[in-house]
Structure 1
Amino acid sequence: MLTELAARARARLDPAHWDFFAGGAGDERTLRANEEAFQRLRLLPRVLRATGPRDLRTTLFGTELSAPLLVAPTAFHRLAHPDGELATARGAAAAGTVLVVSMAATTPVEDIAAAGGPLWFQLYPQPDLEFTAAVVRRAERAGCRALVVTVDSPVFGRRERDRRNGFTDLPAGLVCEHLRDGTGRVRDIVMDADLGWERIDWLRGVTGLPIVLKGLLHPADALLAVEHGVSAVLVSNHGGRQLDGAVATVDALPAVVKAVGGQVPVLLDGGIRCGADILAALALGAGAVLVGRPVLWGLAAAGADGVRQVLDLLREDLDRALALAGARRPADLTGDLVAARC
């Protein structure tokens, strides 16, 4: 089903826009590794566990989700569908989950919030602290329930597909709506190579929202994140779009979980394509997973209905995987269910 939606999306999209969504950095080794790492995992299910009906509900920061599955922040949804992030928000709400709104969204967060459903907001901290604080306040006023701070982007990754296609600007009429300043001018996103832990401390003084630190792979950074008071960490390599050759996220997950030691939730994105992938990530210690590209495939193929289809399919596939693994709830999953890598 997901591969069918991907094919439909590719057929409908401008080839340069498909490449923007589908591509990664450099030779795309990490892009491929995210999926390949899940494919190497082997599960060791239990039997005769009398699971009965499964209960996939999960609560994060006071919000109940239909499953431990969220929509990852991705940019420029109006390249995929005319309704853009509005359609994504409607699909996520219908599926009973959270949409993480990208700072590079092509629809204002206020309009996305009006579409219904719980939202988090993804932030690239900007060198201009006053502007950064204004963006955070805007997300708060719109009702976003958490701040997802991306920290793996001191510079842009080298994205060869975009270079070949000459894709450098959005089409006329589309802008990054959250980069408008007080005059209405649209700024460029600045990747800040001077970003350090002191900026996380500063953000904690700016907002009372839970802060989820996105882009961690090294366990030492996960431990530092806890020490700096974040509310959750998100194991992510930016979908393979930043440092090519970086470790696959599911391979990095166990060491991060061990370093955090249960002090805050550990989330994961990158390479999730089926319920067994979600089950493996949860068994290895993730509290929930986020999906990005499959949601964009659904959006491009069928708008809000396509987004809902993707999320419903993954939730139903996880439910089936839980039953087959001998578990009733995500919390029942333990590391011994992941037997080996081949």
Structure 2
Amino acid sequence: MARLDTSRGYARGVQSAVYRAGISGTRPAVPSTFAGLEQGARRALSADAFAYLAGGAGAEHTMAANVEAFGRWQVIPRVLRDVAERDLSIDLLGRRRATPFVLAPLGVMELAHRDADVAVGRAAAALDVPYILSNQASRPMEEVVAAMGGGARWFQLYWSASDDLNASFLRRAEASGCEAIVITLDTHLLGWRTRDLDLAFLPFTRGQGIAQYTSDPVFADLVRERVKRGVSDAAAPAVKVNAKSVAAAVGMAREARRAGLVDGGLADALRSPLPRAAVETFLDVFADPSLTWDDIAKVREWTDLPVLLKGVLHPEDAERAVDAGMDGIVVSNHGGRQVDRSVPTISALPAIAERVAGRVPILLDSGVRGGADAVIALSLGATAVGLGRPYAYGLAIAGATGVSEVVRNAIAEFDLTLGLAGYTSPADLGPDALRPHPLVE
């Protein structure tokens, strides 16, 4: 799509581009509603891939609650205010950002599209939206950063059981020009993900979504040491040889070759113990359930970048994070993928915002479906909001173009909702812009 004319407002530029293209019969690459995106992704993806991207924990009550909780709030439009000129920018971590959106870290994007994280990075950079690179990426951070040019990027860290590996990830993030580190705290144990369990599908066991690991020198040493010691997973059942297991073996071998773990051709990689050892090593070191506040303090030894803690839902944890010198908080329940019956993020936000009292920025993700949701989140105390599943579905439907249109639409809807509500800047939003829905408790 040609560059938007946003001189009279971002939303107007988007609408004009869409409607003018429609004169010649060209329609958007992706639907403009979340329901449409989800339907399109379901059609585009395999059952395993869609279940992994769309699913949540348990009976998925938290996923539903994340969305329903936004419905407990209503915007109160104000009229006869001059909203002809609107500025969507915000201050975040010492920089002026074009919009209040960031792209939340999503893992295993190769399930959605072959270009995976690279496609997401390109779209984010083109729209001037910060992209939080996932620790569970399908492409190494260096490859994604090369495709992003000067686009803003942060790095998400899953705290590994290996401190040497954690430190290595952060060194690479700094070298890659990442502006901040986001430590995800709510995945120290893998949630009870019923869709994946029913399909017996976990992408990591197939070597998918571990590119940050296989491209890391510390992790490579751990893998080689494992092979040298002859360590195997004795508790794992024997794998049946069939079309699926062979495809998984080929996928692991290709990933090991691409990461440089194995020299030679694909046949050499298939004969090598290293690809399977890489998967087993990942499963061993991925998370540390014993992680505590004392451990988090180590991050200051590994990086000078700003550090945000992601997965905070209790005001006491938020206050402790600020007291511990963290630079920001991400109110998140992992999109409902970890704890069923968890508190919805937008419900947790007001108490956290009150406790933090503006001392550090607060980001919110989980349940954000578009620009109107962002208006609600910013009114209740968020500094910025993270988009997640919507852009993954856009990626599945139309690659980088799909991601771009999803994010563009969210920004445009935010701009339009802001103006129609009588405001010209995110800074103008506050609790008085909303009222509780009278029919929803």
TM-score by shorter chain over 0.5? yes
* TM-score (normalizing by structure 1): 0.96
User: What is the alpha-carbon distance in structure 1 between the residues aligned to residue 208 and residue 374 of structure 2?
Assistant: 34
- Which residue is equivalent to 1:312? 408
Q: 1:31 aligns with which of 60, 63, 77?
A: 63
Is 1:161–2:195 an aligned residue pair?
A: yes
- 3-state DSSP of counterpart to 1:133: helix
Q: Contact conserved, 1:275 with 1:321, CA < 8 A, in 2?
A: yes
Shift of 1:104: 0.4
Q: Contact conserved, 2:182 with 2:310, CA < 8 A, in 1?
A: yes
- The aligned runs of 1:1-342 (5 Å cut-off) are 1-2=32-33, 3-116=35-148, 117-170=151-204, 174-180=208-214, 181-183=219-221, 184=261, 185=278, 187-188=282-283, 190-341=286-437, 342=440
User: What is the alpha-carbon distance in structure 2 between the residues aligned to residue 172 and residue 237 of structure 1?
Assistant: 26
Q: Contact conserved, 2:57 with 2:192, CA < 8 A, in 1?
A: yes
Shift of 1:172: 5.9
Q: Contact conserved, 1:123 with 1:147, CA < 8 A, in 2?
A: yes
| 2:47 partner amino acid | P
User: What is the alpha-carbon distance in structure 1 between the residues aligned to residue 302 and residue 194 of structure 2?
Assistant: 37
* Pairs aligned (count): 342
Shift of 1:274: 2.2
| 1:277 partner amino acid | D
1:10-39, Cα deviation, whole Å (9 max, x unpaired): 101001110101110011100110011112
Q: Contact conserved, 2:107 with 2:209, CA < 8 A, in 1?
A: no
Seq. identity, %: 42
- For structure 1, which runs of at least 5 residues remain unmatched after alignment? none
- For structure 2, which runs of at least 5 residues remain unmatched after alignment? 1-31, 222-260, 262-277
Q: Contact conserved, 2:93 with 2:361, CA < 8 A, in 1?
A: no
Distance 1:95-1:209 versus aligned 2 partners, 3 A rule: same
Please say which of residues 280-289 and 267-276 is displaced more in the overlay. 267-276
* TM-score (normalizing by structure 2): 0.75
| 1:128 partner amino acid | S
Distance 1:257-1:122 versus aligned 2 partners, 3 A rule: same
- 3-state DSSP of counterpart to 1:115: helix
| 1:72 partner amino acid | A
User: What is the alpha-carbon distance in structure 2 between the residues aligned to residue 174 and residue 71 of structure 1?
Assistant: 21
Q: Contact conserved, 1:153 with 1:192, CA < 8 A, in 2?
A: no
User: What is the alpha-carbon distance in structure 1 between the residues aligned to residue 197 and residue 207 of structure 2?
Assistant: 22
Shift of 1:171: 8.3
User: What is the alpha-carbon distance in structure 1 between the residues aligned to residue 156 and residue 204 of structure 2?
Assistant: 20
User: What is the alpha-carbon distance in structure 1 between the residues aligned to residue 113 and residue 95 of structure 2?
Assistant: 28
Bigger radius of gyration among the two: 2
User: What is the alpha-carbon distance in structure 2 between the residues aligned to residue 220 and residue 170 of structure 1?
Assistant: 34
1:70-99, Cα deviation, whole Å (9 max, x unpaired): 100111011100100000001111111011
User: What is the alpha-carbon distance in structure 1 between the residues aligned to residue 205 and residue 58 of structure 2?
Assistant: 25
User: What is the alpha-carbon distance in structure 2 between the residues aligned to residue 196 and residue 170 of structure 1?
Assistant: 25
Please say which of residues 3-12 and 283-292 is displaced more in the overlay. 3-12
- 3-state DSSP of counterpart to 1:277: helix
- 3-state DSSP of counterpart to 1:290: strand
Please say which of residues 216-225 and 6-15 is displaced more in the overlay. 6-15
Shift of 1:322: 0.5
Shift of 1:8: 1.6
- 3-state DSSP of counterpart to 2:71: helix
Q: Contact conserved, 2:75 with 2:434, CA < 8 A, in 1?
A: yes
Distance 1:315-1:36 versus aligned 2 partners, 3 A rule: same
Q: Contact conserved, 1:327 with 1:333, CA < 8 A, in 2?
A: yes
User: What is the alpha-carbon distance in structure 1 between the residues aligned to residue 352 and residue 300 of structure 2?
Assistant: 22
Shift of 1:175: 4.5
Q: Contact conserved, 1:236 with 1:269, CA < 8 A, in 2?
A: yes
Shift of 1:200: 1.8
User: What is the alpha-carbon distance in structure 2 between the residues aligned to residue 261 and residue 171 of structure 1?
Assistant: 43
Q: Contact conserved, 1:100 with 1:121, CA < 8 A, in 2?
A: yes
User: What is the alpha-carbon distance in structure 2 between the residues aligned to residue 299 and residue 62 of structure 1?
Assistant: 30
CA RMSD of aligned residues (A): 1.4
User: What is the alpha-carbon distance in structure 1 between the residues aligned to residue 206 and residue 373 of structure 2?
Assistant: 39
